[in-house]
Amino acid sequence: MQYLLLIYTDDALLGELADGEFDTMMRGCLQHADALQAAGTLLDSRQLEPAATARTLRTRGGRTQVTDGPFSETKEMLAGFNLIEADSEEDALRIAREFPWARTGSIEVRPVRDLARVRARVGA
């Protein structure tokens, strides 16, 4: 089964890291990701530009509005994702724990829906 590991970071917590600690964490994260990819567990991994570069689109009542950035009450912003293959939710959580980013934010582990089954159900 596939799981998406959504990586959220808190800029304030990142700012509290000692000099060079972020680079050390990132280097270890990338090396770990390379190993997971070589094993066939990591299917894709992307890092996002800062939330300040985002644009949010909403359509309500037939009117579309585009605003700068995400407007959220949380201090944690989506920073990237890892798409993994795991045997179970417990396995996906174990893999998520191996990444360092829960220290400076959170990692949301979410099952990926089988789009082929959805297509079949709706006749698309």
Query: What pTM was estimated for this model as a whole?
Result: 0.86
Asked whether residue 103 is domain-assigned, the answer is yes
For residue 78, count CB atoms less than 10 angstroms from its CB and return exposed for 0-12, middle for 13-18, buried for 19 or more: middle
The candidate with the shortest Cα–Cα distance to 29, out of 89, 109, 97, 84, is: 97
22 in a domain, yes or no?
A: yes
Question: If DSSP codes are grouped into helix, strand and coil, which group holds residue 35?
Answer: helix
Give the count of domains, the chain: 1
Q: 75-96: per-residue pLDDT in tens?
A: 788 999 999 999 999 999 999 9
Local structure of 9: helix, strand or coil = strand
Average pLDDT, the chain: 92
Q: In this structure, is residue 72 part of a structural domain?
A: no
Tokens describing residue 88: 């179970």
Tens of pLDDT, residues 31-50: 999 999 999 999 999 999 98
Quote the domain boundaries for residue 115: 2-50+79-122
What pLDDT does 72 receive? 61
Residue of 27, 31, 36, 26 lying closest to 84 (CA atoms): 36
CATH number of the domain where residue 109 is located = 3.30.70.1060
